Amino acid sequence: MNLSSLIPADWQAPLAQALSHPKIASLERYLAQEITEQQVFPPRECWFNALASLSPAQVKVVILGQDPYHGAGEAHGLAFSVPHGVKTPPSLRNIWQELARDFGLTPPQHGNLAGWAEQGVLLLNTSLTVRADCAGSHGKLGWEVITNAIIAHLAHTQRNLVFVLWGAHAQKRATLIDESQHCVLKSAHPSPLSAYRGFLGCGHFSAANAYLAEHNKTPVDWARAHIIGQA
């Protein structure tokens, strides 16, 4: 198992130091064994899907998730997103609900967020794999070395990004971000267990666009996912 070979070319240099960390060799050994004995999601070719649509310089917004969906066919490498034809998970239904409230959009009948990724929204989970039907199962294997390096690289080399941190797990990564150089939006997680504690009504989509516009960046067309769904 060689994780470096799976990482898109634009991200190789920013992640070179992280990939040399001792935890990564251990992670590679574990994953090589795990995929022979268990179902692991998403498929290996999708592990770094979040990085495939955009280079570091193209990132405008980072939405941070925890780990991939653990049901069959759900995860495809973009945090909170599922492929077309897969039932929209509860957390994403709440995301659509908040987007509808924030922008007056009718929620789409799908959960594919690729239309956001194509506009510079990095949909990043802190762990990039999970064992089938076992949430959080790969959460302490070393993925955080890579995903923390992604966050830190963006925070240190770019300016005026929007980091969207929903829930306590994501908010722990705020220490990697200089809030004087970037916009950091925090709220409860969109999970049905916590969305009512501040996620619903947070206004993060309009707040992100207002910040981007203020800093001469093109706002995100959050409706693009709807358009793709209708195509």
Q: What single DSSP character describes residue 88?
A: P
Question: Burial, 148: exposed, middle or buried (Cβ in 10 Å; 0-12, 13-18, 19+)?
Answer: middle
User: Is 67 a residue of the active site?
Assistant: yes
CA 162 to chain centroid, in Å, comes to 13
Sequence-separated contacts (24+) of 209-212 with Cβ below 8 Å: 211/160, 211/162, 211/183, 212/60, 212/61, 212/160, 212/162
Catalytic member of 10, 67, 133, 178: 67
Task: Specify the 3-state DSSP secondary structure of 122.
Answer: strand
Cβ-contact 96, 107 below 8 angstroms: yes
Residue type, 154: L
Peptide bond into 42 cis (omega under 30): yes
Distance, first Cα to last Cα, the chain: 37
Catalytic residue annotation = 67
